């Protein structure tokens, strides 16, 4: 009988935890939107990407200082891909197709133009207007930032759709996937 009571108690606790928000596997809150990074130097637009739009990509759409002292736009000069070194930082993709994790976060890679390297990152909405971003050099050497959602537009901010003239540019592997062609019936 004692075993049976413990079994029932475990079931009851599980039900209560699920009802109070301990819902394992719950869909994460969509992080899409424009976010001001913690130090205020940039705004990052997060949006759905990938063939089935289930991943998250991020683009620099505004920089507090987009140009150097000579008035030249900052470029991705540390990129290990020599073809990308001439691109401007404003508008480039830095978050690469994050995937949903079992914990209800989005995880994957972030590109750091200051050193030309990729780092592991996870992000999640802490509240409707706050996003937490945890970046790791190695598994136990991590830092977390809080980003604030922005709804206004600053002078110089890219507001066009990704790939448009006044919008950010996706890396080729994350660019919009063309719609599949209709399958034609044989003999027509």
pLDDT in tens, 117-154: 999 999 999 899 999 999 988 778 899 999 999 999 99
Please tell me the pTM assigned to this model. Answer: 0.77
Please provide the average confidence, as pLDDT, over all residues in the chain: 83
Dihedral angle, C-alpha 30, 35, 38, 40, nearest 10 °: 180
**Structure token digits, residue 161:** 């759709």
Return the residue matching tokens 């598994």: 139
Residue percentage of the chain with pLDDT more than 90: 65
Query: How far does the chain reach from its first CA to its final CA, in angstroms?
Result: 73
- The secondary structure of the chain in percent helix, strand, coil, rounded to multiples of 5, reads 15, 40, 50
């Amino acid at each position: 009988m004692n075993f049976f009571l413990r079994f029932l108690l475990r079931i009851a606790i599980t039900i209560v935890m699920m009802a109070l928000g301990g819902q394992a596997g719950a869909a994460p809150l969509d992080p899409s939107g424009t976010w001001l990074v913690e130090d205020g130097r940039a705004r990052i637009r997060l949006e759905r990407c990938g063939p089935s739009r289930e991943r998250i990509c991020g683009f620099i759409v505004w920089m507090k200082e987009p140009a150097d002292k000579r008035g030249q736009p900052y470029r991705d000069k540390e990129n290990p891909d020599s073809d990308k070194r001439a691109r401007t930082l404003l508008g480039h993709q830095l978050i690469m197709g994050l995937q949903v994790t079992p914990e209800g976060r989005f995880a994957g890679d972030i590109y750091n133009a200051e050193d030309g390297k990729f780092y592991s990152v996870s992000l999640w909405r802490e509240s409707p207007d706050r996003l937490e971003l945890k970046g790791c050099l190695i598994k136990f050497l991590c830092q977390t930032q809080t980003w604030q959602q922005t709804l206004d537009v600053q002078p110089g901010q890219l507001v066009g759709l990704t790939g448009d003239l006044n919008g950010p540019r996706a890396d080729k592997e994350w660019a919009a996937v063309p719609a599949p062609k209709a399958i034609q019936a044989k003999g027509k």
